[in-house]
Amino acid sequence: MALTHGAVSVALVALATPALPDTVALPLLVVAFLGGILPDLDIVADHRKTLHYPVGYSVLAFLLAVGYVVAPSGTLLLAAVLVGSAAVHTCSDVLAGSVEAEPWNPTTERAVYNHALGAWHRPRRYVRYSGAPEDWLLALVAAATAIRSPASGSTVEAALFWLVAVAGGYTLVRRRFSALSARFPSRLAAVLPAVTVEETESGATTVAIRFRS
């Protein structure tokens, strides 16, 4: 679940940073969250492949971190945190379930695509699927860790409380959600009339509309 990845990234950065003024800590934690959720935007494309680069993000994050050590700048640090969070996300996807629509009934052995190897990593299924109870528990632990750290101010803490609440709601409806979306198109098809258009040899066109009962 993207929210869990976001919370884990925020927790990692919060643990790595001491008490900083809000003006410094806030952008760091926000960028960590964004980097943690960004790879999952490929849910509308080839999920766990199009925006998932476990090797690419790791190498780039390392180079950005080296760059920051050599010539410290705020932009480099934010970029390193953004890409580093995406790296943690894509590498940790192997610990989760596979990519199919109902991962609690696994049919594939695809966890995350490795563009460097040109192959899929198999899922370890420690977290069985997005929205599983253990997924929410992980989000809760990550959020609590970040909240307890000195790096998070009141804004971040309030946001994390909301994150845990929304993730909890998602966990409650997750399995029904998928069943609903699978059932909806067939129900719709049963109600809508079937339309067929035929061209005859003489050039005339017939349109037949059939209503199903």
Q: Is 83 exposed, middle or buried (0-12, 13-18, 19+ CB in 10 A)?
A: buried
Residue 104: CB minimum distance to Zn ion, A: 17
Neighbours of 54 (CB within 10 A): 24
Residue nearest to Zn ion (CB): 93
Tokens 């790096």 — which residue? 151
Q: Please report, for residues 117, 136, 146, 148, the alpha-carbon distance to residue 141 in angstroms, rounded to integers and kept in the order given.
A: 33, 9, 9, 10
Cβ-based nearer residue to Zn ion, 79 or 127: 127
Q: How far is the CB of 85 from Zn ion (least distance, A)?
A: 12
Q: How far is the CB of 130 from Zn ion (least distance, A)?
A: 9
- Complex with Zn ion: residue 11 or 151, whichever CB lies closer: 11
Spell 125-162 as b/e; 16+ CB within 10 A means b.
Answer: bebbbbbbeebbebbbebbebbbebebbbeebeebbee
Q: Which is nearer to Zn ion, 44 or 190 (CB)?
A: 44
Q: Is 112 helix (H, G, I), strand (E, B) or coil?
A: strand
**Which is closer to Zn ion, CB of 17 or CB of 93?**
93
Strands (E) across 88-170 are located at: 112-114, 119-121
Pick the closer one to Zn ion by CB: 124 or 148. Answer: 124
Least separation in angstroms between CB 47 and Zn ion:
8
CB nearer Zn ion, residue 6 or residue 14: 6
Binding site for Zn ion (CB under 5 A): 39-40, 93
**Virtual CA dihedral for 174, 177, 181, 184, nearest 10 degrees?**
160
Nearest approach in angstroms of CB 92 to Zn ion is: 8
Question: Smallest distance from the beta carbon of 40 to Zn ion, in angstroms?
Answer: 5
